[in-house]
Structure 1
Amino acid sequence: MIVTKEQPRMIKIKDRDQLRMIKNDDKESEPEQNGQNYEQDGDDNAPSLDTPTLLDNLASDDLLSFGYYSKSCPKAESIINKYVAKWVEEDRTLAASLLRLHFHDCAVHGCDGSILLNHEGSERTAEASKSLRGFEVIDDIKAEMEKECPRTVSCADILTAASRDATVLLGGPYWDVPYGRKDGKVSVEKDAELVPMGRENITTLIEFYQSNGLNVIDLVVLSGAHTIGRATCGSMQFRLYNYAGTGRQDESLDSRYANFLKRKCRWASEYVDLDATTPQTFDNVYYKNLQAKMGLLLTDQSLYSDPRTSPIVDALADAPSEFFNHQFAVSMTRLGNILVPAAQDGGEIRTKCYSVNSNY
C-alpha cells in the first residue's frame, strides 16, 4: 500500500514487531463449524478470522508505543479506568457511547481527537454527530489528567483507552493500547458525513473500511459493537413501511421482530436496543440475531444477506463468545492505530479536549 500525506494509515508499534495473531494453538479447543476449523483447506472463499493486527509495510519511524507514558505519566491508564468505571456505573449506556465516539473519531481521517473539538463548523456540530454521547466523560478524565501530568496525555489517547475500558466493563475483551497519538487541530463539519449512518450497502461499507486500511473481516467484527447500545427509531423506520417503494416491510426483517419494532417505534426520536436479545451484555448474540433476521439497522442485516460477509457472520455466531471477543480485540487495535500524518506531524497535546490550545 502506498501511503501519501493525505491518507490515514496504520502505524507500527515500537515495543513489539507486531501484535500476535489472535489464535488458539490448542487445536482441540479451536472453534469449529460443521466439524471443520474455520480456516478450511480446499475452500478459497472461506474467510480466515486469524488476522494480524497491524500492517507491516510502513516506515519504522512511524511509531506508537505501549510504554509511551511509563515515565511521563505512569498513572495515565489507571486514571482513565477509574473515571470510565465511575461514569458507566452511573449510566451503563455510556459504554456503547464511548465505543461509538471512538469509531467516529478514527473513521474520519484517523484517531486524532477531532470529533471532540466543539466549535462552529466542527465534526461534533454536524447532523451526523447529533446523537453522539460521552464527551463529558472524556472532559472529566482530561481535567484529572492535567492535574496529574500537565500537557502530556493526548485526548486521542484518552478516547482510545476509554473505549477499551468501556468494553471491558460490559464483559468484553481487554487489549493492550499503544500510545503516542497527537491531537489534531482541524475538525470540519462535512467530514462527519463520511461515517456510515445505517442505510449503506455492503459494497459502500467495504470501500469505506478499505479507505481506512481495514478489511471485510474488520467490518463484520467491529459491527459486533452493536451487541450493546441503542439507535433512534428514525434510523430504521423506513424498513417497517413501504420499504424501497414495495408497499411492504423489508423482507430481510423477521415479521415478529418487525411487529415489535412497530409498537416500539411510534416516534422517530424513540430509542431501541441494537441487540434485542442481550442488550446489556457484550457477547456474540448480535450475530445470532442476524441469522434470525433480527438486525436492527439495514447495515446490520445486510451483513447476513451478502455472500461476502455472511460466512463471517456464521463463524462468529456459531463459535463461543470468547472467539468473537478475541477477534474484536484485534479489529479494535487496528482501528485505534489509524493515524493521519498531518495530525501527527502538526498535532498537539490539548489541555482541554473540546478546544485547540491556541484558544487559551
Structure 2
Amino acid sequence: MSKALALVVVLFLVLFCEKCYGELRVGFYEGKCGLTNVEDVVQNVVNTWHIEKKEKDIPAALLRMQFHDCFVKGCDASILLDGFISEKQAVPNLSVRGYELIDAIKEALEAKCQGLVSCADIISMATRDAVVLGGGKWYDVETGRRDGNVSLASNVNLPAATISVSDSIKLFASKSLSQYDMVYLLGGHTVGIARCSLFKDRIYNFNNTGGPDPSMSPWLLAELKGKCPRISLFFDNTYPLDVKTPSLVDNSFFQEIKRGNGVLQIDQQIALDELTKNIVDDIVSDPDFYTKFGEAMVKLGRVEVLIDGQGEVRKSCRVVNEKPFIFGGFH
C-alpha cells in the first residue's frame, strides 16, 4: 500500500469514527430502517405517553431505570427481563417504573423494522427524550448496544443512600466513570422522590446518636419530621429529592444541597466532602450544566456494553429470544 493511500485510509477512519466509542456511535441506526428515523419513533412514543398517560415523572423513572440497568452487569437491558429471580425482583428495583413505556416503544419499532433496535438502546434514547421533556437539554445518544440474556436479582448491588463519598468514587471508577461524572450523575436527583425509610435515620438517629444529621438545614429537618413521623406502621411516605424544582431537570438540586437541603445522605455529603465540594460549587455557578449532564449520561451509557456478536436484539424486552431447534439439540 502506497503512503498516499495509507494516509487516505487513516483519515477516513478518523473522520468515520469521530463520534464513535468502540462499537457505539451516534446515528448507528441511520439508513437501516428504510425511511424511518428510529430516534424519531422513540421520541414520538415518549412524548405521546407523557401527554396521553399524563405521567409527569417520566424523566425520574427513566433516569433511574438507566442507572440501575447500567450499574448491574452493564447497559444491557437486563433490568427489563421478567422472572421470579430476575433483577426486577431485587429490593432496590421493586420501585423502578417505566417498563410499560419501554414496551410501547419496542412495539412501535418492531412494527417498522423487526429485530433491529435493541432494548438497551431504547432505554438510552428514551431517557434522553425524557430528560428533554423535563426541561433538560438534548444530547446525542450513542447506539449500537445489544441486549443481555442473563438477569439475576443476586447480581444487583447498587450503592446505598448512606455510601461514603470516597466509596462512591471507587464504585464509579470501577465503571470507568470519574468523580466528576459521579457528581453530575447524582444530579439526576434533580427529579424524583425518595421514601422516608431511605433517610429516616438522618432525622431521628443519625449514626446512632439519637439525634438528626447536623449537616441538614433546620428548615429541611422540620419539613421531613412533618412528612416522615418517627413511627409509621403502615405508610412509607415520599419526599422530593430536589426541594425547589422537583419536576425540572436543572441545577437547583446542587443549589439546595449547598444550603443543607440534601434529602439523601450521599447527596448532602458531595456538597461537603473535600473530594467533591469544589465540583458542586462549579456546577452551581455553571450555566452549562445541561451540556455536562448530557455528557455524563453518554458516559454512563458506555458502561460494559455488549456489541457486535455479543448478546442479542430481543424481540420482546421482557424475555430472551427463543433459540431455534436444530437436529441434535438446541442452537
Q: TM-score, normalised by structure 2?
A: 0.87
| Aligned residues with identical type, % of pairs | 36
C-alpha separation between the residues in 1 aligned to 2:77 and 2:224?
A: 35
C-alpha change, 1:180 and 1:14, in structure 2 (3 Å) is farther
Mark the structure with the bigger radius of gyration: 2
From 19, 27, 37, the counterpart of 1:67: 27
Letter in 2 for 1:253: M
Letter in 1 for 2:276: T
C-alpha separation between the residues in 2 aligned to 1:191 and 1:198?
A: 18
C-alpha change, 1:151 and 1:330, in structure 2 (3 Å) is same
Q: How far did 1:87 drift? A: 2.2
C-alpha separation between the residues in 1 aligned to 2:177 and 2:309?
A: 23
C-alpha change, 1:205 and 1:14, in structure 2 (3 Å) is farther
- Contact persistence 2:62–2:127 (CA under 8 A): yes
Q: Deviations over 1:216-274 (max 9, x none)?
A: 00010111111111111111111000211111100011111111011112356211111
- Contact persistence 2:41–2:108 (CA under 8 A): yes
Counterpart for residue 327 of structure 2: none
Quick check: 1:217 aligned with 2:218?
Answer: no
Counterpart for residue 299 of structure 2: 334
Matches within 5 A, 1:70-109: 70-73=30-33, 74-89=36-51, 90-109=54-73
CA RMSD of superposed structures (Å): 1.8
From 111, 118, 143, the counterpart of 1:179: 143
Matches within 5 A, 1:257-272: 257-266=220-229, 267=232, 269-272=236-239
Q: TM-score, normalised by structure 1?
A: 0.80
Counterpart for residue 308 of structure 1: 275
Quick check: 1:242 aligned with 2:243?
Answer: no
Q: Which runs of 5+ in 1 are unaligned?
A: 1-12, 20-53, 55-61
C-alpha separation between the residues in 2 aligned to 1:164 and 1:15?
A: 24
C-alpha change, 1:104 and 1:344, in structure 2 (3 Å) is farther
C-alpha separation between the residues in 2 aligned to 1:318 and 1:191?
A: 39
Tell me the matched-pair count.
Answer: 303
Q: How far did 1:102 drift? A: 0.6
- Contact persistence 1:15–1:66 (CA under 8 A): no
Q: How far did 1:14 drift? A: 8.7
Q: Which runs of 5+ in 2 are unaligned?
A: 1-13, 325-331
- Contact persistence 1:350–1:356 (CA under 8 A): yes
Counterpart for residue 296 of structure 1: 263
Letter in 2 for 1:324: F
Q: How far did 1:190 drift? A: 1.6
Matches within 5 A, 1:104-253: 104-192=68-156, 194-253=157-216
- Contact persistence 2:41–2:105 (CA under 8 A): yes
C-alpha separation between the residues in 1 aligned to 2:88 and 2:266?
A: 23
